[in-house]
Amino acid sequence: MLPQINVLLAQNLVDAFLRDGSVLITSEDKSDALLAVTIEEANRRRFATQSNDTLRGRSFALVLRATATLTDTRNGLTFFDAREFTVSEIIFTDEGLQPAEYQAISTLARDLARKIKDSIVSPW
C-alpha cells in the first residue's frame, strides 16, 4: 500500500541516529550491534465519510506497524527481539487520496524511525 516505505524508513533510521550523535553507524561487518526492522502492517482505514455520500471516505487513518530486533554482533545475544512499534496519522482527502497518502508516508517513516531510535538510545 505504501510504495517505497522500506527505503524511506531506512533513510529515516540513519538520519535519526546521525542526528542523535550517540551512536556511530558503520558497516554491518564492523558493527557491535545489528538492527533488523520488519514492516508488519501498512494499511488505511476509513475514519470519516462524506456527509452527502456515506460510502466515500473523507478522512482515513494510515497505520504503519513494524517489529525490530537488536542483536549484539560480538556474542550473538539479543538486546530485544521483535519489539513492536506502531505509528498512525489521519489524512484528509479533500485534495484527493493519493496526494494525502504521499505526504503522510514521509511523516510515518520519520515517526517510526524516531520511535525505534529512541528505544535503543534512551535506555543507555
Task: Please tell me the pTM assigned to this model.
Answer: 0.84
Domain boundaries, the chain: 5-121
- Residue-by-residue DSSP string for 34-99: EEEEEEEEEEEEEEEE-SS-TTSEEEEEEEEEEEEEEEETTT--EEEEEEEEEEEEEEE-TT-HHH
HSE of 103, CA atoms in CB hemisphere, 13 A: 10
Distance between CA 124 and CA 109 in Å, rounded? 24
pLDDT in tens, 104-116: 899 999 999 999 9
Work out the pLDDT band at 3, boundaries 50, 70, 90.
Answer: low
Domain 5-121 part of CATH 3.30.160.150: yes
Distance between CA 60 and CA 43 in Å, rounded? 10
